[in-house]
Chains A and B, each alone.
Chain A
Amino acid sequence: MSGVGTRLPKQDGAAKADGSGVYADDISFPRMLHAKILRSPHANARIKSIDTSEVLKYPGVVATLVGAELPIKYGVIPWTHDEQALCTDHARFVGDAVASVAALDERTAEEALKLVKVDYEILPAVHTPQEALKTDIKVNEKAKVGNITKHVNLQFGPVDEAIASAAAVTRETYRYAGSTHVPIEPHCAVARADGDGNLTVWSSTQIPHYLQRELSRVLELPQSKVRVIQPLLGGAFGGKSDPFALEFCVAKLALKTGRPVKILYTREEVFYAHRGRHPMDMDVTVALDSGGRIAAVDNKILIDGGAYASFGLVTAYYAGQLLTGPYRFGTYRFDSYRMYTNKPPCGPKRGHGSVQPRFAFEVALDEAAEKLGIDPIEVRRRNFIGEFVETVNGQRITSNGFMKCLDVVEKASGWRERHGRLGRGRGLGVAGSMYISGTAYPVYPNEMPQSGVLVKLDRSGRVVVYSGASDIGQGVNTLLCQIAAEELHCDPRDVTIVAADTDLTPVDLGAYSSRVTFMVGLAAREACQKLAAKLLKAGGETFAEACQKAEAAEGAPLAATGGYRTQKLGGNYRGGTIGASPAYSFTAHVAEVSVDEETGIWRVEKIWAAHDCGRALNPTLVEGQIEGSVYMGAAEAQMEEMVYDEKGLLFGPSLLDYRIPTSLDTPDLDAHIVESNDPNGPYGAKEAGEGPLHPAIPAIANAIHDACGIRIRELPFYPNRILKLLKERRA
């Protein structure tokens, strides 16, 4: 039987292989309308009036929609409801949604958008977080003070004293560029309303439950009347974990017209929807004592948030809270501002909030260790925090396989023989990191389980698992088959998964914060174990026979539920629960780069990555998560950046201009799984989907230093930046 720990092929593999799998844009209904959204051409503008009277005269147009028809503000975090499906009076970035038109076909809707008359009063705009701190211009009224979405200032221990008495100190400024998720599937949503006022929305979302809540609030429908279904999802990476304009628009238009409505974003609109990596400017101080131990870390972080909050309140915390492992910090302080600016809103991209400070810190650690003459891997070993310990900011670390991760990448890369010895233009660099396996708390406070699973046994021997979790490609549905097989001793191919349908499945909070394997895994195991006990008692020659005997004994159909109940965790201070996780994953990378010192052109030759995922419930899927993470991290170091002009217009919102790596740009990736068997995770498992991204960027930066002696502190590591640093070094 293919239980946990096996390389069971994906449960949806055949449907994805033969083209029969249904994604949101593959859904269509008779009489379905297609809608498009008109977007603001201005970065900051008062909307004086919107006139759609000419639009309805255009042949083929069925309905129009403006913000006044659904004015209630929403947002994924309940404390920062600061955006509208369509702006009523204020457009805050180039690309902000202003009006929508539904027509018989997409092309007609697109043409008819030109007839919407919007009278804008153009306002001066705020383009950088530095400007946002100083200006009187208000980007978003939700900010209580100036343009601040959130300010966090936390200190643990006497930081200044520790820095003053340290043996080696680095104090530098780092700049992390914004990047975006680029799922290959653009966002798409379809809505249908029935005669009884029940609304169904199919959407490419990774948060069906939160979307259901926000649709209910904005449309002023009881939550029980709103059903959200997530079909197969073509990539997300955090980019589909907010409610988006299209979901509200199709829902309202479906209610208005009584016909099914679809919106498919163009690739350009996906760039405006964004919620990608926050640009951060960081002033980082790292102080080591004479033994190379981390005496103090001090980080001032200025975060460019864009026009809306999204998860920004959390970002301001994560930028500091998630840095305190796998190393011991003697003292620690961070001060972070998440600012509103007139640009597409940033949000959670894989490794939310913590990738940027991790880059700065791991480079600074290397630099400080160099001053003391300590090998980069050695300094990381020397500062290892251990297992079953509390971090400086009060987070509980359980299992921790970081030392083994270092061992694995050191050996695989030939570090001891090769680091510092590869000659000019070629080098090795190392970095480590830690990440959460889910957050201890849901985004809206409640005492209900974060995740629920219902398992039903049929007398035929078919097992049906009802799970609210979103399979966004990471393979949670496959994992559910494996857990059922493990506990019930059935064939995993006899398991049907009913997933991510708010009417049919128990609530799961969504595919974010790397929570799914841990929380859904525990919920599923609990449900299956209840049924396994009944099957064992009933006995039988075959699985089907056991199901029949157990059902006879029960006198009712066999089903059981399981839940993941939130543990009380975190530091005892305001914000101490943010960043608290039931378990943390750990990662180490070694990167090898080559640099042409004449041109500054460089490439990543190879990255060795070792990731402590607790236990690999499916090694193939875990390796896939590691490889995908490393690729995405390397891409941010190599080439990806959201670039805007002086008017706030995004340069080249297309895949030709915003380049992502092809097969030819991607380095060789060597992924190693390390198992630390966490006592609290399902079968020992922790997360694997986001942690392995973090070390890629600093490992590459440190490798560039090994190759040619420069310290690059600004992303992406464009060749012209490398060349400039090389020239400065020679001067």
Chain B
Amino acid sequence: MAKTVLIRLDVNGEKRELAVPSQRTLLEALRYDLGLTGSKQGCDKGDCGACTVLADGEPILSCITLAADAQDRRITTIEGLAGPQGLDEVQRAFADCGALQCGFCQPGMMLSARALLNSCPKPSLDQIKHALSGNLCRCTGYTKIYEAVQVAAGMRAASDRKPVQSERAEASDSVAHAPKEFAP
């Protein structure tokens, strides 16, 4: 059995003391010891980015960071992103732009986006792609995520492209081998 260590964490501005097994990861400490289940476990190997949190404003993978090694750093989880006045611009833009579908990658994705916008308030599309390349999303094809980051940065409005109408279309060549038709 692993020995138990006493650690001090600074999470979302709250100082917490925990007695945890020495091999406790930061993700486990957040989810199991502090009840901050917004940080997600997708792979537990540092591949998917769902567990991303900010340490002194930098995105880190909490599933491959020991809780003990996160001491003396200011940790921000998704629960700490919104302020008393409501959701952060990134959170608001993700919701408005449909940048989320299942939402599982989203806490990590939004924290990476927040870190990007803090260091680079008007990022290019390439900068956005690079900044988010450690966060896998399986639902969106990333397109609306880029849009949300740009909306959060005040660089554009949410997309409002109108659907194209299709008129009733006849078969191209109804003589050749016309299939059986029926009334609509």
Contacts and interface: CB of A to CB of B under 8 A. Distances in A.
A, B co-complexed: yes
Interface of A: 7, 9-10, 12-14, 16-23, 25-26, 181-186, 232-237, 264, 266-267, 289, 291, 293, 328, 330, 381-392, 396, 398-405, 408, 472-475, 610, 612, 615-616, 619-621, 623-624, 627-632, 654-656, 660, 662-664, 666, 669, 671-677, 679
7 contacts: A16-B100, A185-B104, A232-B103, A234-B40, A234-B42, A630-B141, A655-B42
Interface stretch (B3-11, B54-62, B66-74, B169-177): B169-177
B165 interface: yes
B141 A628 contact: yes
Nearest to A658: B47
Contacts of B143: 627, 669, 671
Interface of B: 31, 36-45, 47-48, 50, 77-79, 81-82, 87, 91-92, 94-98, 100-107, 110, 128-130, 132-146, 158-174, 176-177, 179-184
B184 A293 contact: no
A715 B181 CA distance: 38
B13 to A, nearest CB: 15
Contacts of A384: 169, 171-172
Contacts of B159: 620, 623
A719 to B, nearest CB: 20
B177 A328 contact: yes
Nearest to A330: B177
B91 A674 contact: no
A333 B164 CA distance: 35
Nearest to A407: B164
The 9 closest A-B CB pairs, nearest first, are A19-B38, A234-B104, A473-B102, A386-B171, A631-B141, A16-B103, A401-B166, A13-B95, A19-B78
Contacts of A184: 40, 42, 48, 50, 102, 104-105, 136-138
Nearest to B106: A16
Contact of B166 (A16, A26, A403, A660): A403
B171 A656 contact: no
A21 B172 CA distance: 50
B98 A621 contact: yes
B176 A17 contact: no
A182 B47 CA distance: 12
A408 B164 contact: yes
A328 B176 CA distance: 10
A406 B102 CA distance: 30
Given A185-B42, A232-B103, A396 B139 contact: no
Given A267-B43, A627-B140, A655-B48, A14 B102 contact: no
Contacts of A401: 166, 169
B138 A235 contact: yes
Contacts of B41: 25, 186, 264
A399 B184 CA distance: 9
Contacts of A234: 40, 42, 102-104
Kindly name the residue among A385, A400, A623 whose own CB sees the greatest number of chain B CB atoms within 10 A. A623
B180 A390 contact: yes
Given A234-B42, A389-B171, A620-B97, 11 more contacts: A14-B87, A19-B78, A22-B37, A186-B41, A186-B43, A291-B176, A404-B166, A616-B163, A628-B139, A660-B138, A662-B133
A473 B136 CA distance: 16
Contact of B100 (A17, A183, A389): A17
Contacts of A623: 98, 144, 159, 161
Contacts of B146: 663
B169 A18 contact: no
Given A384-B172, A386-B169, A666 B164 contact: no
B40 A17 contact: no
A620 B98 contact: yes
A389 B138 CA distance: 36
B136 A388 contact: no
Kindly name the residue among A16, A20, A619, A654 whose own CB sees the greatest number of chain B CB atoms within 10 A. A16
Contacts of B31: 26
Nearest to B87: A17
B101 A475 contact: yes
B39 to A, nearest CB: 7
Contacts of A615: 163
Nearest to B130: A664
A493 to B, nearest CB: 13
Nearest to A471: B102
Contacts of A631: 140-142
Contacts of A677: 166
Contact of B182 (A237, A388, A405, A656): A388
Nearest to A185: B104
A671 B80 CA distance: 34
B136 A655 contact: yes
Contacts of B136: 184, 655, 660, 662
A235 B139 contact: yes
A18 B79 contact: yes
Nearest to B104: A234
A186 to B, nearest CB: 7
A10 B40 contact: no
Contacts of B82: 17-18
A476 to B, nearest CB: 11
Contacts of A673: 161, 163-164
A403 B169 contact: yes
Given A403-B169, A655-B136, A627 B144 contact: yes
A23 B78 CA distance: 15
Nearest to B77: A19
Contacts of B176: 289, 291, 293, 328, 330
A237 B138 contact: yes
Given A328-B171, A386-B174, A664 B129 contact: yes
B163 A186 contact: no
Contacts of A185: 40, 42, 102, 104
B173 A291 contact: yes
